[in-house]
Structure formats: structure tokens, C-alpha cells
Structure 1
Amino acid sequence: MTERVYVSTIDNETYIVNSKDMDLAKRDKILAAALDVFVRYGYKRVTMNDIAEAAGISRPALYLVFESKEDIFKGVYEHWVKGTLNEIEARIGQLKTPEEKLRAAFELWTVLPFERMRTSSEVAELLECTFGFAQDSVDQGYRSFEKIIVPVLKSHSKFQSSKPKVSAEKTAHVLSGAVRGFKIIAKDVSEIRSLIKDLLILLLDE
């Protein structure tokens, strides 16, 4: 079956796109707009109409892509996870030492989102929603993050022996679990960055 193509104009530039690419582009645009709205106003106060207006589409058009506000919120988190993990992989590929790679990974995965969340007066509500109906997505996101840092840990001299005391996989799980807690107890960005730095020293110091 031949896939349909459309002519799309963005910022005065004309593109030929297929239906699948158009759907993905529309979805990404909605999720980016929804993220800004949720951070600004929280979850409960935001309506589907608010999200539609922010995305520059009609409310009926929004419902053709997402069934509910909850569906959008979950999609926002999953979209962020995918983009951040891609950014982490690209960043650590530019660095040399395991320590540099791990610091960069946690900066992108933990510190920067923590900083952005702190700018929102609705942070408590957003966290409640995230751990409420997006818990499965959160858990999957952390598992995916762990898979990225396992090879980095294995390249560290501490894991070069045939039988390290704690495997790289378990260490990655400890690290990801710890930073989830750091997000709760840290008072500001400098504290969470310091906690992560000390944690890496504790786990990797030989």
C-alpha cells in the first residue's frame, strides 16, 4: 500500500512529508507545548483546551491524537525520557573517562530536570502525578538509564577484575535508586549535584 504524502509549510519553508512523519511531528509538538503548560500551571488546573491552544490546534484535533489529559501527561514524560537518554548517549560518547561520563549522565538525567522542576510552583503536584499514573513509565525510564551507564561502569578499573564485589548492573541500580531519593531530600541544585558527586566517589573509590 502506498503511503500518503502531504505538503507541509513550516516557518515559510515547504516540506514533503508522509503521513507517519506528519503524525509524529504533530504529536511531538503537542507534547512540547503540554510540558510547558504543566510546568507553569501544574496538572489539575490545566485543561485539554489549554493544551490545544498552546499547541496551536483545535480541541477536537487534540483528541484525535490523545484520549485524555492523563494520556498526554504520560506521553510528556515518555517523550522527555527518550530525548534525554538520546542526549546522554551522545554526550558520553564525546567524553573519555568513566568519571566524566557518569557525571555528565547524571547532570542530564537528574540535575537539569530537578532544576527545571524547582522553577515550577506546582512541583509537588507534578511529582504526585508522575508517581501516580505514570509510575510504570518512570520505572521503565530508570531501567533504560541504568542500561546506558552499565557499560560506563564496566569500563572503570574497579570493575575490571573477574569478580568485582558488586556487579556493574547492581551498582547502576544503586546509583539510579539513590538519585531518586536525592530529588526528594535536596533543597537546591547545588546540593543535589554535591550528593551525586559524593555518591560516585563512595561507589567508585578503590
Structure 2
Amino acid sequence: MASEAKIDRTVVAAAELFMRHGFARTTMGDIARAADMSRPALYLLFPGKEEVFEAAVVHLNRLRLAEIHERLGDAATLGDRLFTACDLWLVQVFDLQRTTPDARDMDDLSIPVVRRVYAELEALIARLIAGSAAEMPPADSAELARGLVFSVRGLGAVAADVDDLRAMTRRQVDLLCRAIGRGG
């Protein structure tokens, strides 16, 4: 059985490669070299590049969500908490895509693991909304979270730069907070 340390080392190395070169341009040989192992050893850990990619996306999402949870303690209002989550997740992805265009694979919604990590972000935002608006049914919180996540993601298509997207995200969060009567 493969050691957890080898798997972790491989996933971290693969994540860096996928973010730099994208899925198509990253090979199993590249991943093996970056993880300091042979290709056959890599294939003992993962049957193919798709499985390594999935593990890398899950790993990066886990890091991003941990950072969000760590920073939520500093956020006093619902608006601040929602902005923190959107900024650390969606704005970071936007920034990565602008600085490293090949990393767009990491945000391709046609890939099942990417849809799953978006669902995790939606669930986190829904919990934040529901926790601040106890009278709101959970379904409404989930719908509002989905709307916020994908409106901010869509704003990336017209944002001039990261600061512009950050400002538009703040406005979107403020609008949502006002709509549910929770201020900004």
C-alpha cells in the first residue's frame, strides 16, 4: 500500500503543475518528476492523470476552505463573512486565471470535481447566510448562496482586474445583505 506521504507529495506537486500548465499540458511524467518518483511508481498511486487532477483540485479546495474558515473569525458582519469567502475563493481563482491562463482547467465547470468544489463553496456560503438569518428557510439560503457564487464568478468576465472584481464582489455582497435585511 502506498504511503500517505508519497500521495500527499504527489498531490501537492501535481497541483502546482496543473495551476502552472493546465491539465492538457501536464503529463504523468511531469508529475512523477516533480514528486521525485518514477512514472511506474506514480501509476501505482494513481491510475491516470484524471485521478491526479481530481486529487489536486480537492487538495487546493481544502486549503482554500481552511483559509476561509480561519479568516471568518475576523469578519464582524454577514457582509464581511460573505465577502471574505468570495474574495478568498472566487477572486483568487480569477487572479490565478489572469496570471496563469493555462490554469483555467482548474475552474472548468464541465469537470465533475470542479462542480463538486463549487458545491462546497455554495454550501459554506449558505451556512453563513442561514446562520445570520435564522428566520430564513434553508432552501432560500442555498438559492441565495448559489446566486452569489455564480454572479461573482460571472462578474469575472467583465472585470478589468482583480481590484475591479473585488469591488464588484463587495457590491454584490452588499446587495444580497440588503435584500435579506442584514445590512452590509
Class of the TM-score when normalised by the shorter of the 2 chains: 0.7 to 0.9
Tell me the TM-score normalised to structure 1 length.
0.75
Q: Secondary structure at the match of 2:24?
A: coil
Tell me the TM-score normalised to structure 2 length.
0.82
Q: Look at both structures and tell me which one has the larger radius of gyration over its CA atoms.
A: 1
Deviations 1:89-137 (A, max 9, x none): 222134322122111111111112221222114245x268x334x2x22
Within the alignment, does 1:193 sit opposite 2:156 as a pair? no
1:52-131 aligned at under 5 Å gives the runs: 52-124=32-104, 126=105, 130-131=108-109
Q: Is the 8 A contact 2:57 2:113 kept in 1?
A: yes
Matched with 2:128 is: 152
Note closer, same or farther for the CA distance 1:147–1:42 as it changes in structure 2 (3 Å cut). Answer: closer
Which of structure 1's runs of 4+ aligned residues deviate more than 6 A?
Answer: none
Deviations 1:44-91 (A, max 9, x none): 222211111111111111111111112211221111112212222222
Within the alignment, does 1:138 sit opposite 2:111 as a pair? no
Which has the higher relative contact order, 1 or 2, with Cα contacts under 8 A spaced 6 or more apart?
A: 2
Within the alignment, does 1:173 sit opposite 2:151 as a pair? no
Q: How many residues are treated as equivalent by the alignment?
A: 178
Q: Is the 8 A contact 1:89 1:148 kept in 2?
A: no
**How much has 1:199 moved relative to structure 2?**
0.6
Higher strand residue share:
1
Two-structure CA RMSD over aligned residues (Å) = 2.4
Distance 2:96 2:117 in 1: 18
